[in-house]
Amino acid sequence: MKGIADYAVVYDITSDTERAKIDHLLKGFGFRIQKSVFECRLDQRSKRELIRALNRLNIKTGFVKIYKLEYQSHPEVIGKPSTKENIDDGPAFIV
């Protein structure tokens, strides 16, 4: 199907309340792969809707990243990482 892609949506949130809201939201867009990882099949409209919904949550205690599942991609980051280190530094493993 044209215009549809698979995405890994990962989050690292310290607040239980925020984490529950993110979890509930993501269940409407995809399915859980691990505790803080969802896989979503989205068209451009659904992706924009997901990003708008995440921005409306006004995340304060962590971040959400959206990775397009392909060989070359750049993640969309919503919120601020909880560490001063660049979370993209170092090796990455895609299985």
Mean pLDDT of 9-18: 95
Fold for the domain defined by 4-79: Alpha-Beta Plaits (3.30.70)
What pLDDT is attached to residue 62? 93
pLDDT digits (tens, 9 = 90+) for 40-91: 999 999 999 999 999 999 999 999 999 998 755 566 777 776 555 444 444 4
CA distance 44 to 4: 7
Assessment of whether the complete model's pTM goes beyond 0.75: no
**Of the candidates 8, 93, 7, 16, the residue with the CA atom closest to the CA atom of residue 62:** 16
What pLDDT is attached to residue 66? 94
Is 23 marked as binding a ligand? no
Beta bridge partners, 41, equal 6
Buried b (16+ CB within 10 A) or exposed e, 45-57: eebeebeebbeee
What pLDDT is attached to residue 73? 54
CA distance 95 to 92: 10
Better-predicted residue by pLDDT, 1 or 5: 5
